[in-house]
Amino acid sequence: MAGMFELYMDAESYFRFRLTAPDGTVMAVSKAFDTKTAAVAGIAEVREYAGMGHITDLSPTARKAAQPDIRDVPVTQVHEVRRIPAADLHSHARNSRQPALGPRWAGAI
């Protein structure tokens, strides 16, 4: 089920509409319109532009997060890190390679 536009008159006697989700949650509220015809035209414009609307993020790029308390961090499994000296790196790589079992390319038959 799709959302629903509700047209109503606010406390200052202006026409407004709100978009509600199927569960009744108010998703958007319009600006104030002087006439009912203008409010209905506003609904038509929202229907036209909402589906292809782009998102422009105007919020700050970074939010300073609070440091977690060390007591709140769950204990995770510790993995052992084995470091290989740079001089031994190539010898370990050579030993781990296995010789090819057959020809790499057999050619066309």
The pLDDT, as a whole number, for residue 66 is: 66
- Architecture per CATH, domain 4-50, reads as 2-Layer Sandwich (3.30)
Say what the alpha-carbon torsion angle 29, 10, 1, 40 is, to the nearest 10 degrees.
-80
The pLDDT, as a whole number, for residue 64 is: 67
Residue spans of the domains in the chain: they are 4-50
Q: What is the sign, positive or negative, of the torsion defined by CA atoms of 21, 25, 28, 29?
A: positive
The pLDDT, as a whole number, for residue 11 is: 94
3-state secondary structure of 66: coil
pLDDT in tens, the chain (109 residues): 688 999 999 999 999 999 999 999 999 999 999 999 999 999 999 988 887 778 888 888 776 666 666 666 566 665 566 665 655 655 555 555 555 555 556 566 5
Q: Give, rounded to a whole angstrom, the gap between the first and last alpha carbons of the chain.
A: 62
The pLDDT, as a whole number, for residue 74 is: 63
The CA radius of gyration of the chain, in Å to the nearest whole number, is 32
